[in-house]
Structure 1
Amino acid sequence: MAENGPVGFWSYTHRDDELVDGRILRLAKAIGDAFELITGEELGVFVDNKDISWGDAWRARIDSALLSGTFLIPVVTPKFFLSQECRREVLTFAGNAASLGVSDLLLPILYVDVPALADNPASDEVVALVASRQWVDWRDLRLEDEGSPAYRKAVVGLAERLNSILSATQIEPIRPAVDGASPVDGGESESLDDAPGFLEVMAKAEAAMPKWAQTMISISEVTTEVGIITVWAAGKMKESDEKGEGFAGRMAIANQLKDRLEVPVERYAELGSQYSAELVAIDPAILAMIRQIAEEELGGEVTDASREFLSGIKALVEASKVSLPSLQELAESSKAPAQLVSSLRPVMKKLQTAIQQVVDGRTILDEWGRRIDELGL
């Protein structure tokens, strides 16, 4: 494939593909073939995110203006939103694409019904990113024979849509300028007077940094608190079993666990939602700022100030890593209690959602840290 030609990265879970007997991968190939037939240009299709060539191509595209010729095609199912790799791909691509003003290149395929997309997408950042795009509805088409006219026509239609989007986005990258002349959010077009400028972006992030740092401290504290409560419950159940109190004893402790967890888990949910939502909102601007610094498009004192600011961001990234082991441990330990009694499930589900939001925030911070490292500050 041409090095600078259009590329499509398929984001899906391998288990979903297994469950439909390889139809997801065959769909990727069919669309790539239809695109080449229609345009005469090969669409590079990458489908295995565990393959080194996928990773190399992904990084090369994410790190350059070649992103304007790149699609991320999430094949959306309930399992998709449970996959940390899939979530990371959406968050990373969306932020980088928005920082260049080419958000339309995130093109989800809704493969089966996902209630969260309609019910409350704002409660999950990745669900919200997918819900905000005009997805392709494949819920009925996935049941069609792959050789049927309806299926083949839909494949061609999707290839034509890719080509149409690609043609519309072959523009110079849109980045925030020092005088505030360019939008950075990749959403609805803004007037030149309303678009945020470089200094506005930096000031907003600078003001948010102490809040982010405090939020991370609070998350670490509530993680410890919830961990102590779950360890207490495990110990009490062991004592109950040794006393021969049976299932009644276990149920009583499970109900006590629910009561003790309700307040800290509610706090955890508030912190997780606040943390990830703020990072997602400012992610495109931070990435655009890093790109401008890397390309030395800013001069003199602004560059020096921005480099100092990014050193502070890097410190924040490093600080966020401290709580990662306890976060991972809590995520694992929270799975078993949810099976004990039905009254405990809503609390544990809310806890798992909050943990996921913190992990999503870490994905964004890790991308900032990687890019800052490459600047050699």
Structure 2
Amino acid sequence: MTISEQPAGFWSYVHADNDAEDGRVLRLCERIEAEYSLITGNEIHMFVDRDDISWGGRWRETIDDALAATTFFIPIVTARYLKRPECRRELIQFAQHAERRGVKELLLPILYTVVPNLKEDSDDEVNAIVASTQYEDWTALRLEDEQGPLYRAAVNKLALRLAEIADTISERPEVLTAVAEDAALTEEVSDDAPGLLDDMAEVEVLFPTWTKTIETLSSEITEIGDLFTDYAPKLGTAGRSSGAAAKLAVARRLASELDPMADRILDTATEYADQALRMDSAISGILLNIADDFSNVGDDGEFEKFAEGIRGLRDGGEKAVQGLDGMNDSAQRAGSMSRDLRKPLAKISRALQRFMDGQGLFDEWVRRIDAIEAARG
């Protein structure tokens, strides 16, 4: 492996987790870098701060291009990590990117604490992605003495694994899947296989479906907001007139009406995220193709139509996220009134999380469209 081919990595973590561990999360990164250099004679550079300009630049290169370089993504998975929108967005984007390139091994999670529902058939796409990898279990090791033999051996094992993956991938030909596994876009390669404009048209067919999903979500947000508005005076009156028992009874009635609404909004948000995830491979392939050579499009008007459609969906989704976020904040304040309310409110929180997962992909597509247009002047 030449110097130019030496690997790099994104060390993705939550600052609060590192603080809670008195800096052990970042020290683990430093130890792995040092151990990798010791056993291979080569360097591996880890980008550790997503707010740093070097992280952003390298991230865009990695996600936008089919790079010959080997770049790992190492998320430090904790319960807090799985709740952070930016962490979830990065993990989903990298997983999709690695899938397109045929290098899934470059996603190497470290399970730092025990988290619930970590299984491949989880209804949470991030949990399912992590569970589907050969993650490193650090839940017991993080409690070991950093200078002790068990901890040092585990660092060595992880560094060896990174080196083995890097060597394996360096000998593998570069691939880039430009079409999705979605049946609507899968064709046998032949003389009459679809071209780029055909692929763009296939994606555009789904625009009304996405628009309908966003409209449904907005309607459901309004419905839940109206329910809380209706119950607010009832809860206030109950609290003043009859004490906690009456207030609890009202809260329970609210919970019974809210629960089916929460189920519906969770289903809608999950559908939105699933639609975006299914189409990410196709849309990213299209954008990579165009970024490589705009003449592949052959029709400026078609690209403008495609870009306008993606932007419109992104903007509509952004408004829905703002509405869902605001409604969620208001709803969560009511959670302290009754245990009965916590179940539907947890579903609403998960709905917000799912919708933001899908919205993150739309944001990324628009960023890449902006880059294409800026490059063209």
TM-score per shorter chain, which class? 0.7 to 0.9
1:157-181: CA deviation from partner (whole Å, max 9, x where unpaired): 111111222222234542246xxxx
Q: Tell me if the contact between 1:67 and 1:97 (Cα under 8 Å) persists in the aligned partners.
A: no
Deviation at 1:198, TM superposition (A): 5.8
> 2 CA distance for matches of 1:172 and 1:197?
24
Partner of residue 283 from structure 2, selected from 267, 272, 286: 286
Do structure 1's residue 85 and structure 2's residue 82 form an aligned pair? Answer: no
> 2 CA distance for matches of 1:193 and 1:226?
48
**1:261-272 correspondence to structure 2 within 5 Å:** 261-272=258-269
Q: Tell me if the contact between 1:101 and 1:184 (Cα under 8 Å) persists in the aligned partners.
A: no
- The alpha-carbon distance between structure 1 residues 332 and 326, as it changes in their structure 2 partners (threshold 3 A), is same
Q: Tell me if the contact between 1:236 and 1:253 (Cα under 8 Å) persists in the aligned partners.
A: yes
Deviation at 1:306, TM superposition (A): 5.2
- Larger mean CA deviation between 283-292 and 211-220 belongs to 283-292
Do structure 1's residue 39 and structure 2's residue 40 form an aligned pair? Answer: yes
Work out the number of aligned pairs and report it: 364
Give the corresponding residue for 2:309.
Answer: 312
Deviation at 1:297, TM superposition (A): 7.3
User: Which secondary structure does the structure 2 equivalent of 1:73 belong to?
Assistant: strand
Q: Tell me if the contact between 2:213 and 2:272 (Cα under 8 Å) persists in the aligned partners.
A: yes
- Larger mean CA deviation between 3-12 and 147-156 belongs to 3-12
Deviation at 1:302, TM superposition (A): 7.5
Do structure 1's residue 54 and structure 2's residue 55 form an aligned pair? Answer: yes
Partner of residue 227 from structure 1, selected from 225, 228, 234: 225
Deviation at 1:48, TM superposition (A): 2.0
1:85-105: CA deviation from partner (whole Å, max 9, x where unpaired): 211211222223333332221
- Larger mean CA deviation between 254-263 and 303-312 belongs to 303-312
Deviation at 1:60, TM superposition (A): 3.4
- The alpha-carbon distance between structure 1 residues 349 and 117, as it changes in their structure 2 partners (threshold 3 A), is same
Give the corresponding residue for 1:104.
Answer: 105
Letter of the structure 2 residue corresponding to residue 264 of structure 1: M
User: Which secondary structure does the structure 2 equivalent of 1:324 belong to?
Assistant: helix
Q: Tell me if the contact between 2:177 and 2:281 (Cα under 8 Å) persists in the aligned partners.
A: no
- The alpha-carbon distance between structure 1 residues 214 and 30, as it changes in their structure 2 partners (threshold 3 A), is same
1:264-315: CA deviation from partner (whole Å, max 9, x where unpaired): 2111111111111121122122112101111017636488645543432222
User: Which secondary structure does the structure 2 equivalent of 1:71 belong to?
Assistant: strand
Deviation at 1:363, TM superposition (A): 0.5
**Aligned-pair RMSD on alpha carbons?**
2.7
Do structure 1's residue 338 and structure 2's residue 339 form an aligned pair? Answer: no
1:33-57: CA deviation from partner (whole Å, max 9, x where unpaired): 1111222221111222233333333
- Larger mean CA deviation between 301-310 and 325-334 belongs to 301-310
Deviation at 1:262, TM superposition (A): 2.0
- The alpha-carbon distance between structure 1 residues 184 and 133, as it changes in their structure 2 partners (threshold 3 A), is farther
1:127-155: CA deviation from partner (whole Å, max 9, x where unpaired): 11111211111122112211122211211
Percent of matched pairs sharing the same residue: 37
Deviation at 1:28, TM superposition (A): 0.5
Partner of residue 213 from structure 1, selected from 211, 214, 221: 211
Deviation at 1:197, TM superposition (A): 6.6
Could you list the runs of 5+ residues in structure 1 that have no partner in the other structure? 178-182
1:332-369: CA deviation from partner (whole Å, max 9, x where unpaired): 12322222222222111111111111111111110011
- Larger mean CA deviation between 209-218 and 146-155 belongs to 146-155
1:211-241: CA deviation from partner (whole Å, max 9, x where unpaired): 1110011011101111121233333222333
Letter of the structure 2 residue corresponding to residue 56 of structure 1: G
Do structure 1's residue 365 and structure 2's residue 369 form an aligned pair? Answer: no
1:30-83: CA deviation from partner (whole Å, max 9, x where unpaired): 111111122222111122223333333323333333385111111111111111
**1:155-194 correspondence to structure 2 within 5 Å:** 155-170=155-170, 171-176=172-177
Q: Tell me if the contact between 2:5 and 2:69 (Cα under 8 Å) persists in the aligned partners.
A: no
Give the corresponding residue for 1:122.
Answer: 122
Give the corresponding residue for 2:236.
Answer: 238
User: Which secondary structure does the structure 2 equivalent of 1:334 belong to?
Assistant: helix
Letter of the structure 2 residue corresponding to residue 293 of structure 1: I
- The alpha-carbon distance between structure 1 residues 207 and 110, as it changes in their structure 2 partners (threshold 3 A), is same
User: Which secondary structure does the structure 2 equivalent of 1:74 belong to?
Assistant: strand
- The alpha-carbon distance between structure 1 residues 307 and 122, as it changes in their structure 2 partners (threshold 3 A), is farther
Q: Tell me if the contact between 1:95 and 1:287 (Cα under 8 Å) persists in the aligned partners.
A: no
Q: Tell me if the contact between 1:98 and 1:184 (Cα under 8 Å) persists in the aligned partners.
A: no
Q: Tell me if the contact between 2:9 and 2:44 (Cα under 8 Å) persists in the aligned partners.
A: yes
Deviation at 1:371, TM superposition (A): 0.5
User: Which secondary structure does the structure 1 equivalent of 2:46 belong to?
Assistant: strand
- The alpha-carbon distance between structure 1 residues 250 and 61, as it changes in their structure 2 partners (threshold 3 A), is same
> 2 CA distance for matches of 1:111 and 1:316?
36
> 2 CA distance for matches of 1:338 and 1:67?
50
> 1 CA distance for matches of 2:122 and 2:177?
26
User: Which secondary structure does the structure 1 equivalent of 2:241 belong to?
Assistant: coil
- Larger mean CA deviation between 105-114 and 15-24 belongs to 15-24
Q: Tell me if the contact between 2:77 and 2:109 (Cα under 8 Å) persists in the aligned partners.
A: yes
